[in-house]
Structure 1
Amino acid sequence: MKDFINNLYRNHSLIYKGLLFVSTTILIVYLFPKSGKFKYNFEKGKPWQSENLYAPFDFAIKKTAEEISAEKKVITDNSVLYFNVDETVVEKVREAYKNEFREVFHDSIFKKELPKIYDLGELIINELYAFGVLNENYDVSEESSVVILDGRVEKQKTVFSNLIKQDAVKETIDKLLIDNNLENLKTDFVSLFFDLVEPNLIFDKSFTERALKEELDKISYARGSIEKGTLIVSKGEVVEGDKFQKLNSLKSEYESQVWSKSNYIWVLFAYTLLVALALLMLLLFLRKYRVTVFENNTKVTFIFFNIFLMILITTLVINYNAKYIYVVPICILPLVFKAFFDARLGLFAHVITVLLLGFIVPNSYEYMFLQIIAGIVTILTVSELYKRANLFISVGQITLIYIVAYFAFFVIHEGTIETIKWETFIWFVLCGLATLFVQPLIYIYEKLFGLVSDVSLLELSDTNSKLLKELSNKAPGTFHHSLNVANLAESSANEIGANAMLVRVGALYHDIGKMKNPTYFTENQSTGINPHDELSSKESARIITDHVINGIEIAKKHNLPDRVIDFIRTHHGTSVVYYFYMKEKNDYEDVDKLEFSYPGPKPFSKETAILMMCDSIEAASKSLKEPTSTKIDAFVENIIDKQIEEGQFLNANITFKEIQSIKKVLKHKLANIYHLRIEYPE
């Protein structure tokens, strides 16, 4: 059991990567469509490129969206409106009319015509309530069919124009008075019925909508069927009209058919294999070509997280509306990876992501071609991301590539530009604008994952920063030394293609530990008093070597990135404080060399190795007396060869050829610094 636990502990990094690999694969497969995928590609108006296609099973020919929309419009326009009638209203109005009639029409004035006038009032009531009086005005067609319900039972059918609107009551009364030659009673009748007439029809909205839904549900989405084995399209035949609709119907049926449990599991298994294969290729690439990245679980997690994030965002956009697919700024991916790692890793991860997206996007070939070309342009054009102008120029170039490539594809598909969808170009412009979000995104990632980009390095290289100002005030000699080392290291890094910005920042901060005891270092001793004179060799050596530990503590206190702290740890490697070691050796025979050695570790990258060389050369160059070209060459050779003999560069991925190039740069720089001047007369 103990051995098993020990094995787990020793292999915890690989176990973590395995779990990350499996979980990312599952999450990506979860986002994929779980139906079958139609294996033929076809376009309207283009010849059928494959062999003769026969129906693999019986299927219905689906109507087009336009046909279904037209049918729905006809049904909606001719839908029946349902009104509930209140039968008690008519009787109430009649009763009120009897009571009010005598008050309005006195016997003495209308004695002879009183029966005729009364009957006219009854006629008006009958006319008004023949179909009913509406409780409000409705904005519907006059020809709309109407069904009047009495307790949910159909009472009568009519059209909407036969129903009396509120503002049409007076008009109805006037018409009947004119027809019966009693226009002189208009004012009396209008005033009489103004208070008597009540609406008895109320629109039943819920019943009407339910009836409309039932009618819409009866729409057939198919217009015929195709039997198994029927020829659908022949090779070379132009796909248009009915054939195009048949192919679309077959594709839709194939992709949306209900899968059995066994089929579903097979599809799921196949997707898992392909996704796992793609992610495995990425891991193998890291293992073979980016070992430092592979061994850092945080960085591997960061890469997998970004790939999954892009697939998730793209899936959400497709589920919302596939026409916005090109708004998703996929090119952020290579930009981010290039900022934190390098161009080759950025392009490789980008291609893997685009290949995975090919499973879920429409027109997958066109999409993948556009995105891979855009990714290549991103990698080729974006350099020095911390310069804002470079980012804007690159985004403009990426947007232009999108537009040109899409235009070319459209012309190939349609053979004309007359029907081109210009709004798609707007999506590309929006995609370009969204790509500019990479700057704040890089900042967020730096805080979340503890990574360092060139943007942060540029900020750290500012000599007006709080920490470097403190170094300048407390240890001015050390600060000046650091500036000189930074210049030498930057030139050396540029010569061999290393990260010049990183090594410059590392050089600026590598000696910040000397702030704790600045006067114990010769470059800060301006008074001629050496405090080491009062200390033993061991105590002096301990103070000198402790500036590494002190530097790490100060760096962590000021939240410097680990990549910068690595320079503080390694800039002396495991070398010996030679002056005090030899001094102790002169006094005592038995001397422990470890007590006079730096704690290490040794440099483990090109950049940290460059700093060790430049730091030693710059510090020791102060002891050169009457420097000449020959002395400088021998001086540089001796110091760096001694570091090689001590094995200080065994862990760094730096070659002898690169070391020779660095020596050449250092010799040239020192020759410029110590060049002989002519003696001017006083």
Structure 2
Amino acid sequence: MKNLFALFTKKQSLIYKVFLFVISTFLIIYLLPKGGQFKYNFQKGKPWQYENLYAPFSFTIKKEAEAIEKEKEIILANAIPYFDYDATVLKQSESDFKGLLDEVFVDSLYKTSKESAVRLGLSITKNLYKNGVIDGVYPYSEDKIVYLKKGNEIEEIVYSQLFKKEDIPKRIIANLPENASEKLQDLLEKSLFRTIKPNVTLNTKLTEAAKESEIKAINPNRGIIEKGGRIIAKGEVVEGDKFQILNSLKLEYQSQVWSASNYYWLLIGYSLLVSLVFLMLFLFLKKYRPDIFHNNTKVTFIFFNIFLMVFLTTIVVKLDAKYVYVVPICILPLILKAFFDPRVGLFVHVLTILLLGFVVPNSFEYMFLQFIAGIVTILTVSELYKRANLFISVGQITLVYIIGYFAFFLIQEGNIQSMELERFGYFILCGLATLFAHPLIYFYEKIFGLVSDVSLLELSDTNSKLLKELSNKAPGTFHHSLNVANLAEAAANEIGANAMLIRVGALYHDIGKMHNPTYFTENQVNSINLHNDLDPKESAQIIIGHVIKGIEIARKNNLPDRVIDFIRTHHGTSLVYYFYKKEKELNENVNSDDFRYPGPVPFSKETAILMMADSVEAASKSLKEPTSTKIDAFVEKIIDGQMEQGQFLNSNITFKEIETIKKVLKKKLNNIYHLRVEYPE
């Protein structure tokens, strides 16, 4: 059990990567469509590139989406509405009419008797309610057939047969006897207007249900292809009916109606392909980016972003596949480039697009556009901390999408008449979504503890709290740090290292000297040297201690680990030579480890450059009457000495790059001291 625990502790990083590999594979497979994959790729308007294709099984030809939409429109236009007829309203209206006439009828005013007027009014009322009085005006033509529901019976009538209240005067005139007076007509009109109540209302629920029923009854198929029948011949252009038949066959392959055996084989196939993609990523990181591979946080960050892109795309495709280009896939290489480098960004982008090929429709077109857009992202986005650069790059990416889609449309359709301009709007939305990279980078920095160029730019501000404190407590050290930053940045630019990172590292590399600033010569304002009263070993420990103190101050102020690395490594494992020599003069048996910095030695080009620039800048202050020859000689001596001590063995820097750095440092120091090449007398 103890041995097992020890093995687990020793291999925990590898075990975590295996777990991450398995869980990522499982999650991606869960998102992928669970249906058969059609093994042929075809495009509308392009020749069939395979051998003659015969139907592997009988299948139905699906109607085009436009045809089904037209059928729906016809059904909705011709749908017969249902109206409810309330028979109780008639009796109530008759009763109200009788009561009203009893109140207002005066025999002396009319030639007709009250009984005759009542009979006439009731007759008109019954006539009005024969098919019913409608409760409003509906957008139907007069000859539109409608269904009138009376109890459990349904009558078919014409919409014009339903009576409207505004037609009462016409109906009264039609039913009055020829000798009827105008006063009687006026009395009946006013009375009926008050007593006639609508008894026919539109049954919306029943009408909509009938529409839905008819729409559901639409046959999505328009024919059958029998097994063995030829679908398309080699070289034949995929268009019209052929294109629709091939799409129908593809849908059958992707149908969810699979047996359990098929389903399990499908999962095995997905598992192998997704595992291959992630295996390639691990191998790439292990061979070309070992620093990322051995950092589980960074590996997790990369896998999380791959899953996020697949998840977002899957959700959008399920909602409506036409919005698939709104998903800002190019944000992936953009963010990875900001935290790592362009090569990692492009490689991960390519692998992610390969996975998305299983999810999206028209996978060839989608993958082509995303590959090109990803390459443009890597080539155009530089110095992300400059906001204008991001806007310019997003504009270029959007333009590439639009040009690529336009080209595909021309190839597939052969004209521009049927082009949907809204598709270009999706690309513009995608570009706008890509601008979300800046806040997303900030979010990732807080969650995963990573550092981007945007954060480095903020840290390089000399008005920041920590650098202000350094300039107040140790002004000499602050000035030295600025000089080192300028030297190191120039050298980094010359060999293609991360100039922004090295500048920030140089600004903070000596913050530990704030603890005892007067023990360092650059901060001594008079000739008094506090080390004269100390033992050489004590002095050496104070000098060495500025590295440990610097790490403590950096952690207290939440400086990123990438910056702390410069504090930790800028002296490597070198000796505090002055005090070591002084101790040796007093005591022959000196333990050199007491005068040696704890290390580690630089493990990147940037930390190696800082060591060289720091040593050279500090030593240049001790030069008396500096000349170009003296500067060249002492730069060579210092850097060659560091190489002999093995300080650069882990920093992945070449001899050629070291020689280039030497030339830059010599040139910069000559400029600082305003020296020219010495001419012979």
- The verdict on a shared fold, with TM-score over 0.5 as the criterion, is yes
* Equivalent position of 2:153 in the other structure: 154
| 2:28 paired with 1:4 | no
1:79–1:144 Cα contact (<8 Å) kept: no
Answer whether contact 1:79 1:145 (CA < 8 A) is retained.
Answer: no
Deviation at 1:350, TM superposition (A): 1.3
Give how far 1:585 is off.
2.7
From the superposition, tell whether residues 135 and 651 of structure 1 become closer, same or farther in structure 2 (CA, over 3 Å).
same
Equivalent runs, 1:480-559 vs 2, <5 Å: 480-559=479-558
Please name the residue that 1:377 is paired with: 376
1:215-267 Cα shifts (integer Å, max 9, x gaps): 33333222332222222333344444443333332222232250111111111
SS in 2 for 1:256: coil
Q: Which amino acid aligns with 1:424?
A: R
Report the Cα distance in structure 2 between the residues aligned to 1:78 and 1:447, rounded to whole angstroms.
Answer: 60
Instruction: Please give the alpha-carbon distance, in whole angstroms, between the structure 2 residues aligned to 1:351 and 1:452.
Output: 24
Q: Match of 1:311?
A: 310
**Cα distance in 2 for residues equivalent to 1:476 and 1:567:** 20
Which residue of 2 is the match for residue 215 of structure 1?
214
Deviations 1:314-368 (A, max 9, x none): 2222222222222222222222122211111111111111121111122211221
Distance in 2 of aligned mates of 1:420 and 1:138: 37
Residue in 1 aligned with 2:70? 70
- Counterpart in 2 of 1:32? 32
**Quick check: 1:57 aligned with 2:57?**
yes
| Secondary structure class of the residue paired with 1:376 | helix
> Matches of 1:119 and 1:364 in 2, distance apart?
79
Provide the residue aligned with 1:235 in structure 2.
234
Which runs of 5 or more residues in structure 1 are unaligned? none
Match of 2:657 in 1: 658
In 1, Cα distance between equivalents of 2:278 and 2:676: 62
Sequence identity percentage: 65
The equivalent residue for 1:82 is 82
One-letter amino acid matched to 1:549:
I
Asked if 1 retains the 8 angstrom alpha-carbon contact of 2:628 and 2:675, the reply is no
Distance in structure 2 (CA, Å) of the matches to 1:669 and 1:155: 100
Letter in 2 for 1:532: H
Given the alignment of the two structures, is residue 278 of structure 1 paired with residue 281 of structure 2, yes or no?
no
Secondary structure, counterpart of 1:61 in structure 2: strand
Is it true that 1:326 corresponds to 2:325 in the alignment? yes
SS at match of 1:229: coil
Check if 1:249 corresponds to 2:245: no
Aligned to 1:597: 596
Separation in 1, partners of 2:495, 2:107: 123
Contact preservation (8 Å) 1:310, 1:330: yes
Measured in 1, the distance between the counterparts of 2:649 and 2:240 equals: 72
Distance 2:558 2:112 in 1: 111
Structure 2 spans left out of the alignment, 5+ residues: none
Go from structure 1 to structure 2 and tell me whether the alpha carbon gap of 1:589 and 1:201 turns closer, same or farther (over 3 Å shift): same
Aligned counterpart, 1:336:
335
How far the C-alpha of 1:595 sits from its partner, in A, is 2.2
Residue 292 (structure 1) aligns with = 291
CA deviation map 1:373-424 (0-9, x unaligned): 2222222222222223332332232222222222222222222333333332
Shift of 1:19: 1.2
The residue matched to 2:573 in structure 1 has which SS?
A: coil
Cα distance in 2 between the residues matched to 1:547 and 1:69: 76
What's the offset of the Cα at 1:522?
Answer: 0.9
CA distance in 1, matches of 2:624, 2:242: 92
Which has the higher mean CA deviation after the structures are superposed, 428-437 or 371-380? 428-437
- Is the contact made by 1:20 and 1:301 (CA closer than 8 Å) also made in structure 2? yes
Match of 1:572 in 2: 571
Letter in 2 for 1:86: D
Partner Cα distance (2:506, 2:222) in 1: 77
Q: Which letter does structure 2 place at the counterpart of 1:612?
A: M
Change (3 A) 1:531 1:150: same
Q: Is the 8 A contact 2:124 2:175 kept in 1?
A: yes
Alpha-carbon shift at residue 179 of structure 1 (Å): 6.6
Q: How many angstroms apart in 2 are the aligned matches of 1:202 and 1:422?
A: 43
Please name the residue that 1:185 is paired with: 184
SS at match of 1:283: helix
What is aligned with 1:143?
Answer: 143
- Deviation by residue 1:12-49 (Cα, 9 ceiling, x = unmatched): 11111111111112222222111112223344454433
Q: Which amino acid aligns with 1:243?
A: K
Write the distance in 1 (CA, Å) between the matches of 2:536 and 2:146.
111
In structure 2, do the counterparts of structure 1 residues 71 and 402 end up closer, same or farther at CA, with 3 Å as the change threshold? closer
TM-score by length of 2: 0.93
Contact preservation (8 Å) 1:174, 1:183: no
1:440 counterpart residue number: 439
Determine if contact 1:64/1:245 at 8 Å carries over to the other structure: yes
Q: Secondary structure at the match of 2:382?
A: coil
**Is this contact kept in 1: 2:59–2:249, CA < 8 A?**
yes
CA contact (8 A) 2:82 2:202 kept: yes
Contact 2:34–2:256 under 8 Å retained in 1: no
**In 2, Cα distance between equivalents of 1:518 and 1:391:** 42
Deviates most, 376-385 or 176-185: 176-185
Whether 1:394 and 2:393 are equivalent positions in the alignment is: yes
Partners of 1:531 and 1:524 lie apart in 2 by 12
1:65 counterpart letter in structure 2: A
Aligned to 1:612: 611
Q: What CA deviation, in whole Å up to 9, does each residue of 1:57-99 have, x standing for no partner?
A: 2222223333333333333333333333333333344445555
Return the alpha-carbon distance in structure 2 between the equivalents of residues 644 and 308 of structure 1: 44
RMSD over aligned Cα, in angstroms?
2.5
Preserved contact between residue 569 and residue 600 of structure 1 (Cα < 8 Å): yes
Q: Is the 8 A contact 2:110 2:184 kept in 1?
A: no
Match of 2:155, SS state, is strand
Query: CA 1:520–1:2 in structure 2 vs 1: closer, same or farther (change >3 Å)?
Result: same
Secondary structure at the counterpart of residue 176 of structure 2: helix
Q: Using a 3 Å threshold, how does the CA distance of structure 1 residues 627 and 43 change in structure 2: closer, same or farther?
A: closer
Q: Judging changes above 3 Å, is the alpha-carbon distance between structure 1 residues 671 and 79 closer, same or farther for their aligned structure 2 residues?
A: closer
- Alpha-carbon distance between aligned partners in 1 of 2:143 and 2:322, rounded to the nearest angstrom: 40
Please list the CA deviations of residues 260-285 of structure 1 after superposition, one character each: whole Å capped at 9, or x if unmatched: 11111111221221111111111100
1:414 aligns with 2:413: yes
Aligned residues: 677
Q: Is the 8 A contact 2:136 2:164 kept in 1?
A: yes
Cα gap change, 1:150 to 1:5, in 2 (>3 Å)? same
Contact 2:232 2:242 in 1 (8 A): yes
- Measured in 1, the distance between the counterparts of 2:569 and 2:587 equals 30
Does the CA contact (< 8 Å) of 1:572 and 1:600 recur in 2?
Answer: yes
Do the aligned partners of 1:486 and 1:505 also contact (CA within 8 Å) in 2?
yes
